[in-house]
Amino acid sequence: MCGIVAYIGSRDATPVLLEGLQRLEYRGYDSAGLAVVAPGGLKVRKTTGKVRELEAGIPRRFKGSPGVGHTRWATHGVPSDANAHPHLDGAAQVAIVHNGIIENATDLRARLESEGVTLVSETDSEVLAHLIARAGRPDLEDSVADALKLVEGTYGIAAIDSRQPDRVVVARNGSPLILGIGDKEMLAASDVAALVRFTRQVVHLEDGEMAVLRADGYRTSTLDHRPITRAPLTVEQGQDSYGLDGHIHYLHKEIHEQPEAVARALSGRLDRRFSTAHLGGLGLDARDVAGIRRIKLLGCGSAYFAGLLGATMIEGLARIPADAESASEFRYRNPVVEPDALYVAISQSGETADTIAAVRELKRKGARVLGIVNVVGSTVARECDGGIYLHAGPEISVASTKTFTSTGVALALLALYLGRIRDLGPAEGKRIIDALSEFPDQIRRVLDTEADIAGVANRFNQSASMLFIGRVSGYPIAEEGAQKLKEISYIHAEAYAAPELKHGPLALIGPEVPTVAVVPDDALYPKNLSSLAEIRARRGPVIAVTSRSDIPDAEAALLVPRSEPELAPLLLGIPLQLFAYHVAASLGRDIDQPRNLAKSVTVE
Ligand code: G6P
């Protein structure tokens, strides 16, 4: 993971790097640092903790250009000042920041130590600074290329050398790196979020590529120096969408942005004439769809849970066998890739390492892969055969909320499109279109009940553990609800398929362990009531999330408007986001940056 940023130009790099790091902090936030080239050599500051702590310790005279900055999510070595980046060579002339994992770091460390190099950190990354210095070529880019030839693993790196203040060298293999083209200045970062304040013109590097940045331009090549040309793209989002807009937390802001996010996901995609979805980026014609025998959805974390829900929608509406699997497991089990299967990779960031690896494994085996992605131009988006963009706007808080819901909407559109080419009749298609059209307003109505949800959260916030249950299409929502609660409140939460309760977890039920039950008003409603009765018989408190105001056996009910059975689960997820938020807020948690987590997991 980790965020990296680099700057070269006539300004002082320090404030540019600090601002970039703040935007990147969601990628990791256990330590941070920066280095700039000043007339007397490199100036370096690094610290355990967050970017604001780094900023507080930087003296006024700390000025220079070019510079590199880093915010860390520890993989090798605990969060400490020494392990924070940038890392330097022994002579303190080269400084590097690195995102990724150097897999042969142990061997490289031993080799460097046997040559008399002293390593001052426990990180895998430090070897890069020493290897670059040891290469000792007249041009930094040649030294970087030599060093990278010795390295196995993944990296996005930026390097500076105090003896060559006219350039920054960056390279990419497996970890994102984007160049930002300014007016007589250049930037690079692991995410466009760090660049948009300064420029909208960006260039995405591909794996195995590097770039030399100078104040007046850049040159891209492969690591073996073959020049390549990449046309710059214009980033759409303005810097405003990265602000808090009066909310205390990004999570709160993003939960409240859902009506607009969903409206954007639907915009221009509802085809009322043929009662289907219009999805221009899929690249699948009717004949392709007719030949699909199976659909497999892949993702990690909330993206995986959205995939579970998508599978139920696809089976329900399109009657194509569908299932979801976590991309991290899929990639390592030598999956059987069927020629008539369609694969769908789901990723908000489009940069999750395990999801990218799954896409590459599939492509290598000749599969057709679609991407459901939020970040335009991200790796998953670029490597898939086609797909659906969410257009949810930037999601900053580590816990996914609006992108989970928007992904669910995108999957509903996909299910509708596939269904209408297969056996779903026009009246059924219209039923789904009408229900989807109502979503933005229905979500608004759920958000209006925030005070009630906060009241329920405050009643249960002292629980040491909670169970979440749901059946079939309610089950993924139970998983996502439990995920939200555990990651931001640190309360232990586990999700089960409701019928599984009696096969084990019922042993945990009692007055101290509340159960959050996802209860759609569908054909399985009576079955769900039986589960609630079983819990109440053991004096377990039940918090039901449902559209039925007459639900029995519940200590508290979080109510949502009624929708069609295939889509209702998505609405049921909204109160659970606010529930987790208010539990976490009442406990004073670090809601946007929960401990040990990062938003974009760009390492294995
Ligand atoms: C991390 C985040 C989760 C997210 C998952 C997948 O674990 O903390 O909130 O669901 O990554 O991220 P992606 O960007 O691929 O959707």
3-state class (DSSP) for residue 10: coil
- In this predicted model, what pLDDT tens digit does every residue of 398-407 receive, in sequence order? 999 999 999 9
Backbone φ, ψ for residue 136 (5° rounding): 55, 30
**pLDDT category, 503, cuts 50, 70, 90?**
very high
Strands 201-204, 178-181: pairing kind: antiparallel
| Token output for 112 | 């460097």
Distance CA 88, CA 196 (A): 28
Residue among 302, 347, 480 to mutate when testing ligand 1 (max atoms within 8 A of CB): 302
Distance 541 CA to ligand 1 centre (A): 31
Compute the chain's Rg from CA coordinates: 25
pLDDT tens-digit series, residues 119-151 = 999 999 999 999 999 999 999 999 999 999 999
Q: 67 CB contacts (<8 Å, ≥6 apart)?
A: 6, 7, 13, 14, 16, 17, 34, 35, 36, 37, 160
pLDDT band at 73 (very low <50, low <70, confident <90, very high): confident
Q: Which residue has the higher pLDDT, 101 or 69?
A: 69
486 is known as an active-site residue: no
pLDDT at res. 602: 75
- If you measure from the C-alpha of residue 514 to the centroid of ligand 1, how many angstroms do you get, rounded to a whole number? 27
* pLDDT tops 60 at residue 239: no
Task: Take residue 119 and report the two structure tokens written for it.
Answer: 């390593």
Query: Chain centroid to CA 357: how far?
Result: 15
**Encoding tokens for residue 110?**
């031993």
Per the rule left: phi > 0, alpha: psi between -120 and 50, beta: everything else, 100 is left
For β-strands 185-189 and 201-204, DSSP reports them as unpaired
Give the single-character DSSP code of 101. Answer: -
Q: What is the pLDDT of residues 345-355, one digit of tens each?
A: 999 999 999 99
**Rounded to a whole number, what is the largest CA-CA distance in the chain?**
77
For the Cβ of 83 lying below 6 angstroms from any atom of ligand 1, the answer is no
Cα 377 to averaged position of ligand 1 atoms, centre (Å): 17
* Residue 391 in tokens: 């257009």
- 596-600 mean pLDDT: 84
Q: Is 378 in the pocket of ligand 1 (CB under 6 A)?
A: no
Does residue 90 have a pLDDT over 80? Answer: yes
Task: Tell me the CA–centroid distance for residue 373 and ligand 1, in Å.
Answer: 11
For residue 322, the CA-to-ligand 1 centroid distance in Å is 22
CA-nearest residue for atom 4, ligand 1, is 301
Atom of ligand 1 nearest to the CA of 300: 6
Has residue 238 got a pLDDT over 70?
no
C-alpha span between 581 and 584 (Å, rounded): 5
2 in active site: yes
For 460, the token pair is 């249960």
Give the residue, out of 254, 352, 395, 603, with the most ligand 1 atoms within 8 A of its beta carbon, to mutate for a pocket test: 352
CA atoms within 13 A on the CB side of 415: 31
Strands 492-497 and 465-470: parallel
Q: Which long-range contacts (CB under 8 A, 24 or more apart) does 551-557 make?
A: 551/519, 553/529, 554/517, 555/514, 556/456, 556/459, 556/460
Of all atoms in ligand 1, which is nearest to the CA of residue 355? 15
Q: What is the pLDDT of residues 13-42, one digit of tens each?
A: 999 999 999 988 877 788 999 999 999 999
DSSP 484: H
- Which H or E run contains 563? none
Contact 258 CB / ligand 1 (< 6 Å) = no
What value does the mean pLDDT of the chain take? Answer: 94
pLDDT at res. 43: 97
Q: Which of 2, 402, 484, 486 is catalytic?
A: 2
**pLDDT higher than 60, residue 240:** no
Bridge-based pairing of strands 515-519 and 542-546 is parallel
Residue 227, burial from CB neighbour count under 10 angstroms (0-12, 13-18, 19+): exposed
Q: How many A from CA of 307 to the centre of ligand 1?
A: 13
399 lines ligand 1 (CB under 6 A): yes
